[in-house]
Structure 1
Amino acid sequence: MNNTEKIRLQNDALRLGMVRNGLFHVTSGIADQGAGFVMRARQQVAAYNNFTLDNDPYGEHDFGAFELDGQKLFFKIDYYDLETRAGSPDPADPDVTCRVLTVMLASEY
Protein backbone atom coordinates (compact mmCIF):
# COMPACT_ATOMS: atom_id res chain seq x y z
CA MET A 1 0.00 0.00 0.00
CA ASN A 2 1.43 3.40 -0.95
CA ASN A 3 1.36 6.53 1.24
CA THR A 4 -1.64 8.07 -0.54
CA GLU A 5 -3.70 4.94 0.12
CA LYS A 6 -2.62 4.91 3.78
CA ILE A 7 -3.55 8.59 4.19
CA ARG A 8 -6.90 8.10 2.45
CA LEU A 9 -7.83 5.13 4.67
CA GLN A 10 -6.90 7.04 7.82
CA ASN A 11 -8.83 10.13 6.67
CA ASP A 12 -11.90 8.00 5.95
CA ALA A 13 -11.57 6.42 9.41
CA LEU A 14 -11.34 9.89 10.99
CA ARG A 15 -14.50 11.03 9.22
CA LEU A 16 -16.24 7.97 10.71
CA GLY A 17 -14.83 8.66 14.18
CA MET A 18 -12.63 5.57 14.16
CA VAL A 19 -9.06 6.84 14.46
CA ARG A 20 -6.96 6.94 17.61
CA ASN A 21 -5.05 10.18 16.99
CA GLY A 22 -7.72 12.47 15.67
CA LEU A 23 -9.70 15.57 16.60
CA PHE A 24 -13.01 16.89 15.29
CA HIS A 25 -13.42 20.67 15.35
CA VAL A 26 -16.15 23.02 14.24
CA THR A 27 -15.79 26.75 13.67
CA SER A 28 -17.80 29.30 15.61
CA GLY A 29 -20.12 29.71 12.63
CA ILE A 30 -21.02 26.02 12.81
CA ALA A 31 -21.29 25.99 16.63
CA ASP A 32 -23.58 29.05 16.52
CA GLN A 33 -26.11 27.00 14.53
CA GLY A 34 -26.78 24.82 17.59
CA ALA A 35 -26.05 21.30 18.79
CA GLY A 36 -28.51 19.66 16.37
CA PHE A 37 -26.87 21.34 13.40
CA VAL A 38 -23.41 20.28 14.63
CA MET A 39 -24.61 16.68 14.97
CA ARG A 40 -26.13 16.68 11.47
CA ALA A 41 -22.97 18.25 10.04
CA ARG A 42 -20.89 15.52 11.64
CA GLN A 43 -23.20 12.88 10.16
CA GLN A 44 -22.88 14.49 6.72
CA VAL A 45 -19.08 14.48 6.99
CA ALA A 46 -19.13 10.79 7.93
CA ALA A 47 -21.45 9.94 5.01
CA TYR A 48 -19.64 12.15 2.48
CA ASN A 49 -18.47 10.23 -0.57
CA ASN A 50 -18.49 12.82 -3.36
CA PHE A 51 -14.73 12.89 -3.91
CA THR A 52 -13.72 13.98 -7.41
CA LEU A 53 -10.55 15.10 -9.15
CA ASP A 54 -11.71 18.70 -8.64
CA ASN A 55 -12.03 18.50 -4.84
CA ASP A 56 -9.62 15.62 -4.17
CA PRO A 57 -6.78 15.89 -6.70
CA TYR A 58 -4.34 13.88 -4.53
CA GLY A 59 -6.81 11.12 -3.65
CA GLU A 60 -6.46 11.64 0.12
CA HIS A 61 -10.15 12.35 0.93
CA ASP A 62 -9.05 15.38 2.96
CA PHE A 63 -11.61 17.96 1.75
CA GLY A 64 -15.32 18.04 0.99
CA ALA A 65 -18.16 20.46 0.41
CA PHE A 66 -21.87 19.90 1.00
CA GLU A 67 -25.08 21.71 1.85
CA LEU A 68 -26.94 21.45 5.13
CA ASP A 69 -30.13 23.37 5.92
CA GLY A 70 -29.53 25.57 2.87
CA GLN A 71 -25.98 26.49 3.90
CA LYS A 72 -22.76 25.51 2.15
CA LEU A 73 -20.25 23.75 4.43
CA PHE A 74 -16.67 22.62 3.96
CA PHE A 75 -14.61 20.09 5.86
CA LYS A 76 -10.83 19.88 5.78
CA ILE A 77 -8.39 17.44 7.34
CA ASP A 78 -4.94 18.65 8.38
CA TYR A 79 -1.97 16.65 9.68
CA TYR A 80 -0.07 17.63 12.82
CA ASP A 81 2.52 16.09 15.09
CA LEU A 82 1.10 14.33 18.15
CA GLU A 83 1.29 17.53 20.25
CA THR A 84 -0.51 19.50 17.48
CA ARG A 85 2.28 22.11 17.57
CA ALA A 86 3.68 21.55 14.07
CA GLY A 87 2.98 19.67 10.89
CA SER A 88 3.24 15.91 10.91
CA PRO A 89 6.62 14.54 9.86
CA ASP A 90 4.77 11.75 7.99
CA PRO A 91 0.98 11.99 7.48
CA ALA A 92 0.87 8.34 6.39
CA ASP A 93 2.19 7.19 9.80
CA PRO A 94 -0.50 7.18 12.52
CA ASP A 95 2.16 6.80 15.21
CA VAL A 96 3.46 10.33 14.54
CA THR A 97 0.32 12.05 13.23
CA CYS A 98 -2.70 13.69 14.82
CA ARG A 99 -5.41 14.26 12.24
CA VAL A 100 -7.57 17.35 12.74
CA LEU A 101 -10.89 17.55 10.90
CA THR A 102 -12.44 21.02 10.82
CA VAL A 103 -15.99 21.72 9.65
CA MET A 104 -16.79 25.31 8.66
CA LEU A 105 -19.34 27.41 6.84
CA ALA A 106 -18.11 28.18 3.33
CA SER A 107 -18.38 31.87 4.23
CA GLU A 108 -15.76 31.34 6.97
CA TYR A 109 -13.15 29.93 4.60
Structure 2
Amino acid sequence: MISTATETRLEAVAQLNDRCRQGFDRTAKIVMTRACLGALSNGTLASEAIAQAHVLQALRRYTFPADCPERDHGQFELSGETIHFRIDYYDASLEWGSEDPADASVTRRVLTLMLREDL
Protein backbone atom coordinates (compact mmCIF):
# COMPACT_ATOMS: atom_id res chain seq x y z
CA MET A 1 0.00 0.00 0.00
CA ILE A 2 1.37 3.43 -0.98
CA SER A 3 1.21 6.14 1.68
CA THR A 4 -0.73 9.35 1.10
CA ALA A 5 2.51 11.38 1.20
CA THR A 6 4.07 9.15 -1.48
CA GLU A 7 0.93 9.38 -3.63
CA THR A 8 0.95 13.17 -3.29
CA ARG A 9 4.64 13.33 -4.23
CA LEU A 10 4.14 11.03 -7.24
CA GLU A 11 1.22 13.13 -8.44
CA ALA A 12 3.29 16.33 -8.09
CA VAL A 13 6.11 14.79 -10.16
CA ALA A 14 3.60 13.52 -12.74
CA GLN A 15 2.00 16.96 -13.08
CA LEU A 16 5.40 18.62 -13.51
CA ASN A 17 6.33 15.98 -16.10
CA ASP A 18 3.08 16.68 -17.95
CA ARG A 19 3.94 20.41 -18.02
CA CYS A 20 7.34 19.52 -19.49
CA ARG A 21 5.86 17.18 -22.10
CA GLN A 22 3.22 19.74 -23.09
CA GLY A 23 5.83 22.49 -23.52
CA PHE A 24 4.61 24.63 -20.60
CA ASP A 25 7.75 24.39 -18.45
CA ARG A 26 10.07 27.24 -19.46
CA THR A 27 12.99 25.70 -17.59
CA ALA A 28 12.71 22.29 -19.28
CA LYS A 29 14.64 21.17 -22.33
CA ILE A 30 13.28 18.87 -25.03
CA VAL A 31 15.95 17.21 -27.15
CA MET A 32 15.84 14.72 -30.01
CA THR A 33 18.72 12.48 -31.05
CA ARG A 34 20.13 12.86 -34.56
CA ALA A 35 19.22 9.24 -35.32
CA CYS A 36 15.60 9.90 -34.40
CA LEU A 37 15.43 13.07 -36.48
CA GLY A 38 17.20 11.38 -39.38
CA ALA A 39 14.77 8.46 -39.40
CA LEU A 40 11.81 10.83 -39.68
CA SER A 41 13.14 13.30 -42.25
CA ASN A 42 15.06 13.36 -45.51
CA GLY A 43 17.82 15.59 -44.14
CA THR A 44 16.58 18.94 -45.42
CA LEU A 45 15.93 21.71 -42.94
CA ALA A 46 12.27 21.86 -43.91
CA SER A 47 11.69 18.12 -43.49
CA GLU A 48 13.49 18.17 -40.14
CA ALA A 49 11.25 21.00 -38.92
CA ILE A 50 8.15 19.11 -40.05
CA ALA A 51 9.40 15.91 -38.41
CA GLN A 52 10.02 17.76 -35.14
CA ALA A 53 6.52 19.23 -35.23
CA HIS A 54 4.97 15.79 -35.81
CA VAL A 55 6.99 14.24 -32.98
CA LEU A 56 6.01 17.00 -30.55
CA GLN A 57 2.37 16.65 -31.56
CA ALA A 58 2.46 12.89 -30.93
CA LEU A 59 4.32 13.40 -27.63
CA ARG A 60 1.70 15.86 -26.38
CA ARG A 61 -1.12 13.46 -27.29
CA TYR A 62 0.53 10.45 -25.66
CA THR A 63 -1.62 8.56 -23.15
CA PHE A 64 0.27 6.89 -20.32
CA PRO A 65 -0.50 3.36 -19.13
CA ALA A 66 -1.54 2.91 -15.49
CA ASP A 67 1.84 1.37 -14.58
CA CYS A 68 3.69 4.68 -15.16
CA PRO A 69 2.63 6.86 -12.19
CA GLU A 70 5.38 9.48 -12.68
CA ARG A 71 4.58 9.76 -16.41
CA ASP A 72 8.30 10.06 -17.08
CA HIS A 73 8.81 7.67 -20.01
CA GLY A 74 7.00 6.00 -22.87
CA GLN A 75 7.00 5.14 -26.53
CA PHE A 76 4.78 5.73 -29.53
CA GLU A 77 4.70 4.92 -33.23
CA LEU A 78 5.21 7.63 -35.83
CA SER A 79 5.85 7.20 -39.56
CA GLY A 80 6.75 3.54 -39.07
CA GLU A 81 9.29 4.29 -36.31
CA THR A 82 8.99 3.59 -32.59
CA ILE A 83 9.92 6.77 -30.76
CA HIS A 84 11.00 6.39 -27.12
CA PHE A 85 11.07 9.24 -24.64
CA ARG A 86 12.15 9.77 -21.07
CA ILE A 87 12.35 12.66 -18.67
CA ASP A 88 15.44 13.05 -16.49
CA TYR A 89 15.68 15.32 -13.45
CA TYR A 90 18.64 17.64 -12.91
CA ASP A 91 19.61 20.39 -10.50
CA ALA A 92 19.19 24.04 -11.57
CA SER A 93 22.65 24.13 -13.20
CA LEU A 94 22.05 20.88 -15.13
CA GLU A 95 25.18 19.35 -13.56
CA TRP A 96 23.81 16.82 -11.08
CA GLY A 97 20.64 14.88 -10.46
CA SER A 98 17.84 16.73 -8.71
CA GLU A 99 17.46 16.12 -5.01
CA ASP A 100 13.67 16.52 -5.26
CA PRO A 101 11.94 16.07 -8.65
CA ALA A 102 8.64 17.11 -7.00
CA ASP A 103 10.06 20.61 -6.36
CA ALA A 104 10.04 22.69 -9.54
CA SER A 105 12.19 25.40 -7.94
CA VAL A 106 15.21 23.06 -7.67
CA THR A 107 14.63 20.73 -10.63
CA ARG A 108 15.22 21.12 -14.37
CA ARG A 109 13.67 18.50 -16.61
CA VAL A 110 15.28 17.20 -19.79
CA LEU A 111 12.99 15.20 -22.07
CA THR A 112 14.87 13.12 -24.62
CA LEU A 113 13.23 11.68 -27.76
CA MET A 114 15.13 8.78 -29.30
CA LEU A 115 15.06 5.55 -31.24
CA ARG A 116 15.64 2.16 -29.61
CA GLU A 117 19.27 2.11 -30.71
CA ASP A 118 19.81 5.40 -28.85
CA LEU A 119 18.75 3.88 -25.51
TM-score by length of 1: 0.90
1:15 aligned to 2:10?
no
2:57 maps to which of 20, 28, 43: 43
The reply to whether residue 82 of structure 1 matches residue 88 of structure 2 is no
AA of the residue aligned to 1:107: E
- What is the deviation of 1:31? 2.6
Taking a change above 3 Å as real, the CA distance of residues 20 and 35 of structure 1, as seen in their structure-2 partners, is: closer
Max radius of gyration: which structure? 2
The 8 Å contact of residues 74 and 103 in structure 1, kept in 2 or not, is answered as yes
Higher helix share: 2
The residue matched to 1:61 in structure 2 has which SS? coil
Contact 1:4 1:60 (8 Å CA) reproduced: yes
What amino acid does structure 2 have at the position aligned with 1:41? Answer: V
Amino acid at match of 2:53: M
Q: Tell me, yes or no, if the aligned pair for 2:64 and 2:71 is still in contact at 8 Å.
A: no
Mark the runs of 5 or more structure 1 residues left unpaired by the alignment: none
> Would you say the 8 A contact 1:16–1:46 is kept in 2?
yes
Using the aligned pairs only, state the percent identity.
35
The runs of at least 4 consecutive aligned structure 1 residues that moved more than 4 Å come to none
Partner amino acid, structure 1, of 2:115: L
Aligned length: 105
Deviates more, 1:70-79 or 1:31-40: 31-40
Residue 81 of structure 1 deviates from its aligned partner by 0.3
Q: Decide which of 26, 29, 35 is 2:32's aligned counterpart.
A: 26
Alpha-carbon RMSD: 1.3
List gaps (5 residues or longer) in structure 2: 42-47
